[in-house]
Structures are given as C-alpha cells and as structure tokens.
Amino acid sequence: MDHMEIKRLDNGARLVLDRRPHAASIAVGTWITAGSRDEAAAQAGLAHALEHMAFKGSDRRSGEEIARAIDAVGGDLDAYTSREATAFYAQILPEDLGLGLDLVSDLALRPRLDAQDWRLEADVICHEIAQTQDTPDDILFDYFQETCYPGHPLGRSILGSEASVQALTIENFKRFRAQHYSPDRLIFAASGPLEMARFEDAIAPHLPALPASAGGGVATNHDAPRFQASRFLQAREMEQAQILVGWPSVAQSDPRSYAYVLLSHMLGYGGASHLFMDIRERRGLAYMVYASTQFFSDAGQLYVHASTAAGQVPAYLEALQDLILRLPSLLTESDLQRAKAQFRAGTLMARDSVGANVRALAHHLAWAQEPKRLADILAQVEAVQLDEICALAAGLAQKPALTAIAPKAALPSLQAWHDGL
C-alpha cells in the first residue's frame, strides 16, 4: 500500500486512502470494528441482522431506492459481517464518488430500523441459516469455531440461530448501534483515482454528529479466547466426509502470522504442496485437501480441510497424522521460496483490484493504528527463515481440534483417532 494516506478526524473516525491514479473505478466503504463477537449470547446473530436491516432503507431512501440508485450508475453495493467487523462498501466510477459514499453512509450510519421491515427480514435470515445448515462445507466452519472456542463469543455462529434471531427487536439493534458504532470504531476507506482532500470533502456531510471519541478504534474489553483441542462430530446421510483439523496459531497483529501463512502454503496450498502431493497424488485419499489460516485480534488458527469417502477416513487420518509428524523434517528451502513466491504474487495480483485494495486497507487498519505498507509486508515475509517455519511445524504435533460432518459409519474412526492422539 505504497500510495496510502491516513487521516484521523476530530471525532475519532479514520480515513484511509490507497491512491490509484490509473484505475478506472473507485472502491469506497465504511468499516465498523464491531461484529458477532460483540453480541450477548442471547442475541447471537444481531450484528449480521443489523447489516441486513441496513438494506431495508435509511431515513432518506427506501431499500428499493438504494438498489435502484446503485444500479442506475452500473455500480456494485455490498456488505458483510465477520466476528470482529461489519462492512458496507461500493465500487463505482470516479464521477459517482458522491453517490457511492452517500449510499454506504446510508447503510452504515442512517438505517431506519423499522419494526415491520424486521418481521420480514427475520424470516429471510432464518432461510439463510437453514440454507447454511444444509451445506456441510459451510456449516462445518461454524462448528469448527465452536469446537476451538467453546463458550466464547468467537465460537458462536455469525448468523445466530433461528430462535435467537426471531427474538431480536428493533430496540436491540438501536442499543447495539449506540454502544458500538462510535466514531473511533469507524473506518472510511477508498482505493482508486482519488485525492485525500476530495475524499474528505465527500465524507464530511455523512459523519454522524457525535462528540470526539478517544481510543484506537479497536475494542479492548474482550476476553481472549483459549483454544481447546476438543471435537465435534455430526452424522449425516452423505457420500463424502467433511473433516477439519486445526491448531492454535497467533493473533492478527503478531509478527509470526506471516510465518504461519507461509507454513500453510508449504503444507497445503497449490499442487506442489505436501498435502496435495501426499494425500491426493500419492495416496488418492481425497480430491479436495488444503491448509489455510484464520486470524483474529487476539487468537488464530492453522487448519487442514479435506473431503474424503467414508471408507477412506481411517486411511486419511493416519496419512495426515504421519505427514504432520514428519513435516519439520520434510520442509525445505525450496518449499519456503515457493511459498514466498505464492504470497508475493497473490498480494501483488490482488492490487490490480481496487475492491481488494480497499478491503485490505480496512482490514489492516482495524487492528492497528496504521496499515502496513506493501513494501513492509513483503519485506517481513521475505525475512522469514526456514528454521522459524520448522519450529512452528513442530508445534503441530500437539493434539488438534477436530470437526467433522460425515456418514455415520465414519464417526467411530474419527473419534478413535482423536482419542488416541
């Protein structure tokens, strides 16, 4: 992010701009550093439901008018809720900057929160929950979070349950906004052919009339989760077993996070990775197998996800455990250079997209006073040494968390494997 500028406004909100003079479009958005982790247990799904409700209309536009306005200029308007943030963003042509910011500000700062709208939208969200429940490789990751962090807010589903969603009220939404949508937790981000002065001028009319707020924009009153090497197994009538095995890593801001990303690449990213070559190519135990990472403000995971036939589950688990135990001795300097090349290429290629840029800017700023510049990120990755990676790989010998959705016949082997570790 070498063309990056940051500014903190008097009320505590932060602006971050990635200037792309030759880009054909602008991506803009508003990020709030509050997500499902900030909900009370009885109100699970509230942050996500609030995101839905924003699209029902603001105090100036109906939901239909919001949709027609973005369609009229050929733009794109979207949002998402994660465990630690909520985002509303748009991609538009440069001449439509004012409209794009107007719409994302309507969504983030001026939702009308009407009780009749909520009665309809609650049913829509329940359909979404049911659809996710019907998709094993989607719901598996929710189960995995709960397996790793039982009883902790990070372990709860972002969507909530049908019961918790149906129990929500407009007053719940208003209280959540009043508590968490403070200026010091707001980030306005943009990427494209834009100068900071124009960006700030376009935002000024949309800033909420709130007093200046102190702090770094990141909630500090969260209890840190403790990773649990527990398990969750669910039987379903299906052909393939979906299996997630995971270990604790580090928080988003920890310098070792880059080493964990490189380790995940070496272990299971791409056709030359150890997982792909061993599990799929040499043994034929799975069509889909890969490793990846997930980071939060105070926790993280490295995990392996595979889909395999029920009858091959014991062989897959044995092969996986064998590979994990041998991994520190298998990793080579060639593996590390390949992983660094993958990271560098993926990061640079993503910069061709103003949408990817704006999401990266906001994501980095959500957990730090200043996003890391591209050159600094690449330098930190390049500085990682093989002995660091091997030390992290040795840590995977500890008992992992296990989550699986599988045919009933596969459950005993999954349980026996985990018990035996």
Residues with a known catalytic role: 51
Residues pairing with 403 in the sheet: 232, 244
Task: Give the C-alpha distances (Å, rounded to integers) separating 308 from 214, 233, 242, 289.
Answer: 51, 15, 7, 9
Residues 6+ apart with CB under 8 A from 412: none
| Number of CB atoms found within 10 A of residue 284's CB | 11
Q: Are 249 and 295 in contact (CB under 8 A)?
A: yes
**Nearest residue to 243 via CA among 253, 252, 233:** 233
Phi, psi of 266 (to 5 degrees): -65, -40
Instruction: With residue 374 as reference, give the H or E element that holds it.
Output: helix 374-383
First to last CA, the chain: 44
Residues 6+ apart with CB under 8 A from 341: none
Residues 22, 42: Cα–Cα separation, whole Å: 49
Task: Give the C-alpha distances (Å, rounded to integers) separating 123 from 127, 163, 222, 329.
Answer: 6, 11, 31, 53
Residues 325, 292: Cα–Cα separation, whole Å: 18
Q: Are 35 and 367 in contact (CB under 8 A)?
A: no
Residues 48, 71: Cα–Cα separation, whole Å: 24
